[in-house]
Amino acid sequence: MNAPDITALLADLRERFHGRLLVDPADTAPFLTDWRKRYTGRALAVAQPESTADVAAVVRWCAEHRVPLVPQGGNTGMVGAATPDDSGRALVLSLARMNRIREIDVVNNTATVEAGVVLANLQQAARDAGRLFPLSLAAEGSCTLGGNLSTNAGGVQVLRYGNTRELCLGLEVVTPAGEVWNGLRGLRKDNTGYDLKHLFIGAEGTLGVITAATMKLHPLPAAQVTAFAAVPDPHAALRLLVLAQKRLAASLTAFELISDYCMQLVERHLPGRRRPLAAASPYYVLLESSDFESEAHAHERFEALLGEAMEAGDVTDAAIAGSIAQSQAFWAIRESIPEAQALEGRNIKQDISVPISSIGRFIDETITTIERDFPGVRMVVFGHLGDGNLHYNVSPAPGVSPDAFMANEAAINHITYEALAAHRGSISAEHGLGQLKPVENVRYKPALEISLMRTVKAALDPLGIMNPGKVLPI
């Protein structure tokens, strides 16, 4: 396609929708590189529609001209799912201008919002209405609900409230043909056939464009109490989890595992953030309880829990936050780990899940193998222990150049993936597959499962224009 043809095509597109069409390289550049700066692509342009009807018009134009379409939310993804390839043929569809909260229903405990709403803004709107929207993750100040749904984001409160999928009651979607499916039903029970919303949640924009959603809200707890506990190893952390679930039941909302090397990274690169305990420990657990009675009641239950765990030898020291500021300081340590890793330098990242009962054995086995085969590497282990999701990362040995270290990425990943297969785990827990892991996904998923996924893709997107090369390899 020559330049005059492209100019005429984009002029035609510009006439079809309300919003912005960015074509200048300086304007499109922020949309073409992923958050980790691992992938940079090229695009015909970036479309920023203002309504669902506008999105449908853009998709119809893409279908008419066989132009690949790459939906994008806050561009905070970790696997390049919202980044175009380097062919320059794709159109990036940014949902950033579709950021309206359409309705909050405090009786039905639902919020109906557009895909471009920033997660933190939805959280605040729910609080303003006396409700809780519990999805919470490090990028909540910039990620958007559409992206959260497209990757089935997890975060720190999955243990109590579930992934984004569990929080969604209904969707509005523009199909690859440019038709609008309005499935915005705030129903907890609706057994009228296939539950179509689950096809689009977690599909990373490969089956359609999510433009709005009806999400569950929850009552605001009377108090949230946070504790930071030292544990000798992941096995002790798992025993603490079992005890916490027994003593706190559904009020246990978060249970995070942090290795001491993570703590060292945070203290080295972010000096204002310090270990809240007197002595170092191989591992730590950050746990939080949402109490619907009172703060005093929550503190009393936490103290009893930690006291019992100390008597059993599973906790060696602990601190319970005495204020909101102290609780925020505890969480700042956890949420700062990715930033500290980035400041430390290049590293090999994994977002994986393992059956909770297998986590201790998995960590023991893989660390032993990786450290044997790659002496001196440093393991950066942290994540949502309560739901089996680990961010299982590897930093180079001191003095090893980044390029030399990254040459080992495939071999280190192979060790991790083979162990995951043995423990019936997953190579992607909450970040998705994007363009980082489709080939590995085909290798480790059953062939029939991949075949069924391709069948769904072909049925909904017969032209293959929706985010090609993501989730399933071309």
- Which segments within 312-388 are labelled E, that is strand? 317-320, 351-353, 378-384
How confident is the model over 71-121, as pLDDT tens digits?
999 999 999 999 999 999 999 999 999 999 999 999 999 999 999 999 999
* Same domain for 234 and 197: no
Is 200 in the same domain as 285?
no
Which residues fall within 8 angstroms of residue 417, CB to CB, at 6 or more apart?
427, 440, 443, 444
Which of residues 170, 202, 219 is at a domain's end?
A: 219
Q: Is residue 135 part of a domain?
A: yes
pLDDT at 5 over 90: no
pLDDT in tens, 39-78: 999 999 999 999 999 999 999 999 999 999 999 999 999 9
Cα(71)–Cα(145) distance, rounded to whole angstroms? 13
% of the chain with per-residue pLDDT over 70: 99
Q: How many domains, the chain?
A: 4
Query: CB atoms < 10 A from the CB of 169, how many?
Result: 22
Which of 159, 192, 219 delimits the end of a domain? 219
b/e 176-190 (16+ beta carbons within 10 angstroms → b): bebebeebbebeeee
120 & 213 share domain: yes
**Is the whole-model pTM more than 0.85?**
yes
Strands 91-94 and 45-49: parallel
**pLDDT over 90 at 4, yes or no:** no
Q: At what angle do helices 3-14 and 52-65 cross, to 10 degrees?
A: 150
The range of the structural domain enclosing residue 427 comes to 345-431
User: Which pLDDT does position 365 carry in this prediction?
Assistant: 96
Tell me the mean pLDDT in the region 163-176.
Answer: 98
Band of the pLDDT at 292, cuts 50, 70, 90? confident
Measuring CA to CA, how many Å separate 82 from each of 101, 222, 365, 396, 472?
23, 38, 34, 28, 14
pLDDT tens readout for residues 315-369: 999 999 999 899 999 999 999 999 999 899 999 999 999 999 999 999 999 999 9
Please state whether beta strands 218-219 and 209-216 pair in parallel, antiparallel, or not at all (unpaired).
unpaired
Residue at 472 is within a domain: no
| pLDDT at residue number 195 | 95
Task: Provide the mean pLDDT of the chain.
Answer: 95
Strand partners, 348: 394
Beta bridge partners of 200: none
Give the closest residue to 162 by CA, choosing from 388, 427, 433, 387: 387
At 224, phi and psi to the nearest 5?
-125, 125
443 found inside a domain: no
Distance separating alpha carbons of residues 251 and 269, to the nearest angstrom: 34
Phi then psi for residue 70, to 5 deg, are -120, 100
46 token code pair: 């970036």
Supply the pLDDT for residue 84.
97
Q: Is the pLDDT of residue 272 over 90?
A: no
252 and 195 fall within a common domain: no
What strand order describes the sheet that includes 351-353? Answer: 317-320, 223-231, 283-291, 252-259, 378-384, 389-395, 351-353
CATH code assigned at 114: 3.30.465.10
Count CA atoms within 13 Å of residue 264 on its CB side. Answer: 13
Quote the tokens at residue 320.
Answer: 């319970």
Dist. CA 302–CA 304, nearest whole Å: 5
473 in a structural domain? no
